[in-house]
Amino acid sequence: MDTQTLNTKIELTETAIDLYIEDKFSIPNLTKETGKTASEIYTLFPNKNSILKFYYPSLVIRYRAMISEIEDFESYSISEKLSNFAFTLFDMMSERREFVEDTFEKYEWNCSSKSDFQQEIKDLFKEFFTTDGNIATSAGFFIGDLFYASLKTQFLFLIKFWLEDESEEQERTFALTDKITGFIEELVYSKIADKGFDLAKYSLSAFGFSKQVEDFNDWVSSWFEDEPEEEVEIDIEDEEETDDDKTTD
């Protein structure tokens, strides 16, 4: 989807939310406020409800545009990136908090299927981790789809916590976010297990097991490779009936 189309969708969604808060959301009112025809709107959205739902994935899309303007963002630690994402989205949602309070549980928290917002979060987190050169080799044991899904769920929990946080300036939410992101960084940056692997490799080399060291390196590298889809070959043998196979009464 090109940038102009995305911007148009975001503009329509934000206007729709403003109308929703005023209890005036309808396609005629949206066309009046934006100057877009109903036909143009339905070209971008399959139905009226999807216009409002697009608000959540649009948050991540807008965030990506923001960090693309930060020159040294890639030098941020993993906890800094995760915290920056969380705090930025809290600020963005504060602008339309009434809408978030009214729809978050319905659209995202209690969503029975994977939403576009949740997929956008998973994809962003995957980029954060796969482009970070400080991730420990041993972290490959657990970093994968289940790990990113767990982080996504943890972030949804943070949003719910933020919505219910009545502490002064929501300091409890910020403290919890710092603790969670700090723990994740300690988990994936820890080099203790890496040193254990180095010791094992050195021990094998010292005793002349060079082939074992090569196999060990291949084994570790395989943690970070996508598991190939297993191809199943099915041999079909044609059974031809010959005169010898025929029996007579």
Chain segment 48-106, per-residue pLDDT in tens: 999 999 999 999 999 999 999 999 999 999 999 999 999 999 999 999 999 999 999 99
- With respect to residue 238, please indicate whether it lies within any of the assigned structural domains: no
Q: What is the mean pLDDT of residues 186-214?
A: 60
Q: 128 and 107: one domain?
A: yes
Structural domain harbouring 10? 1-53
Report the number of distinct structural domains present in the chain.
Answer: 3
Residue 232's pLDDT band, with cuts at 50, 70 and 90, is very low
Q: What is the 3-state secondary structure (H, E, C) of 172-221?
A: HHHHHHHHHHHHHHHHHHCCHHHHHHHHHHHHHHHCCCHHHHHHHHHHHH
The pLDDT of residue 139 is 86
Q: What is the mean pLDDT of residues 10-23?
A: 96
Whole-model pTM: value is 0.77
The pLDDT of residue 238 is 45
Q: What is the mean pLDDT of residues 37-47?
A: 96
- With respect to residue 105, please indicate whether it lies within any of the assigned structural domains: yes
Q: What is the mean pLDDT of residues 157-166?
A: 96
Q: 23 and 94: one domain?
A: no
Q: 174 and 206: one domain?
A: no
- With respect to residue 147, please indicate whether it lies within any of the assigned structural domains: yes
Higher-confidence position of 144 and 221: 144
- How many Å apart are CA 183 and CA 176, to the nearest integer? 11
The pLDDT of residue 240 is 44
- With respect to residue 249, please indicate whether it lies within any of the assigned structural domains: no
Q: 105 and 155: one domain?
A: yes
The pLDDT of residue 98 is 96
The pLDDT of residue 241 is 46
Least confident of 9-13, 45-49, 157-161, 242-246: 242-246
Residue 217's pLDDT band, with cuts at 50, 70 and 90, is low
Q: 8 and 101: one domain?
A: no
- With respect to residue 90, please indicate whether it lies within any of the assigned structural domains: yes
Give the mean pLDDT of the chain: 84
- With respect to residue 233, please indicate whether it lies within any of the assigned structural domains: no
The pLDDT of residue 248 is 46
Compute CA distances 111 → 100, 104, 106, 115, whole Å: 14, 9, 7, 7
Q: 20 and 109: one domain?
A: no
The pLDDT of residue 61 is 96
- With respect to residue 207, please indicate whether it lies within any of the assigned structural domains: yes
Q: What is the mean pLDDT of residues 207-236?
A: 49
Say yes or no to pLDDT of 229 above 70: no
Q: What is the pLDDT of residues 110-130, one digit of tens each?
A: 886 679 999 999 999 999 999
Residue 141's pLDDT band, with cuts at 50, 70 and 90, is confident
